Amino acid sequence: MAFELTKEYVERLSQAVELRDESTIRLELRDLFAADISVLLDELEGPEAHYILTLLDTETGAEILAEYDSDSRRELLTYFDSAEIARYVNILDSDDAVDLLKEQPVRIREEVIALIEDREQARFILDLLPYEPDTAGGLMQKELVKINVRQTVTECVEEIRRQAEDVEKVYTVYVVDDDQILLGIVSLKDIILAKRGSKIEQIYDDDVIYASTYDSAEDVAELMSRYDLDALPVVNVQKRLLGQITIDDVVDVITEQAQEDIAAITGVSEEVEEDDSVWKITRSRLPWLGIGMIGSLLAAKFLGIFEHDLLMMVPALALFIPIIGSTGGNVGIQSSSFMVQILSDKSALSGEFWPRMLKILTVAVLKGVLIAAFVFLITYLILSHPLKLSMVVSISLMAVVLLSSFTGTVTPIILNRYGINPSVASGPFITTANDFLGYSVYFGIAYLLYHYW
């Protein structure tokens, strides 16, 4: 059954902490997963969360800290001394340990590394610290299982048993030579089914997919997603095996990418959390709203040009201004969102790209015809508007659908060409641009029909 966090539960636990009721706290947390406990502790004050963690065994505490988001964990660990942090870092996976230490001041970081009992873990951490967090080197962990290509299967099994003590999950076994150059991988199934006395060089697969330490996190996520990998080896420029990236870390990257794209699409300019200050949340939403407001004011000024020439002559034209604007904006958002999906797939740059573009154009034409026909029937036959007005509205809507589809498709392509995240092409930007196009087309067609027909 999924854990449900309630205000009453948090208050009950907070009261138990205040009374230092250890038995109640342990009972309340006994059946919860580490991820659930991390969410729960995030709702408590720092000293309260610190006290609860001291009651749990070190392994559980380390797992809970690994589940924390970066900002909350940084704040929580201000209530820990270096020795307490070192106990958790000592048993964390090396990648999680490095993430935690990078959040700490340099003095605390150095004290913690000096206090780590497992010196191999300390060496792993020192190896990983120089890498940027958004690269393959920053995502990888040093813990893995590797074997020499010249070993026999029997020796390999013993080596796996020895190395697997430090590896939480064995996704795959990497094959290296005497210089630690990555040669390939071998599955546990192949090892188990191999004949007695067989050598690894006879059964390993040299067709291995790997990442370099400088590859971006986005490229790593795309690679693991495309080839459905649970783990990805990481090598240096000499192709020497340095570590591996596991699927749980890539899920975090994909989640962060999705959140960033949603924020960009909705016009949020900086990362915010629910518990951030009112000013920070407001500041993150103002830039794009300001751009949208300026665009709307300019559009209003543009409409004023036709106030005496068309709107005074045919007041009913004003009734359909909202549908022109909203239709153009919606179509533009649909097209840009679909284009962003295509561009996120590297295969979109292959021969399939232009057939997809032709399909987008065909869909736009079909949508325009259907919408125009539907609106014409409603305005002329049901609402009994004049034929000329109904034609202006329906023709304008068809043109707006085509133009909005074009701008929504082309803008992400242009931004992507110049290295700008194409997701920012959506939201207020596309909507504002399509307002001008839509109103220009609408009043342009109205002017032509009412003056020359």
> pLDDT tens digits, residue range 313-369?
677 777 888 888 788 878 887 787 777 777 766 554 455 667 777 777 888 889 889
pTM of the shown model: 0.65
Domain boundaries, the chain: 7-133, 146-251, 278-452
Q: What is the mean pLDDT of the chain?
A: 82
| Residue 246 buriedness (CB in 10 A; 0-12 / 13-18 / 19+) | buried
Q: Nearest CA to 405 among 447, 443, 371, 375? A: 371
* pLDDT at position 271: 56
* pLDDT at position 188: 85
- In angstroms, the CA 342 to CA 346 distance is 8
Window from 207-221, 272-286, 312-326 with minimum mean pLDDT: 272-286
Identity of the amino acid at 31:
D
Homologous superfamily assigned to 7-133: MgtE N-terminal domain-like (1.25.60.10)
Per-residue pLDDT at 246 exceeds 60: yes
User: Per-residue pLDDT tens for 414-426?
Assistant: 777 776 666 655 5
Q: In percent, how much of the chain has pLDDT > 70?
A: 81
Quickly count: other Cβ atoms within 10 Å of residue 162's Cβ.
Answer: 10
Domain 278-452: CATH class, spelled out? mainly alpha
- In angstroms, the CA 213 to CA 200 distance is 26
Burial 213-241 (b: 16+ CB within 10 A, else e): bebbbeebbbbbeeeebebbbbbeeeeeb
Find out whether 221 and 253 touch, Cβ atoms under 8 Å: yes
User: What does the block give as tokens for 240?
Assistant: 């020497």
Per-residue pLDDT at 274 exceeds 90: no
In Å, what is the CA distance from 299 to each residue of 61, 332, 407? 57, 17, 17
CATH of domain 146-251: 3.10.580.10
Window from 84-98, 270-284, 403-417 with minimum mean pLDDT: 270-284
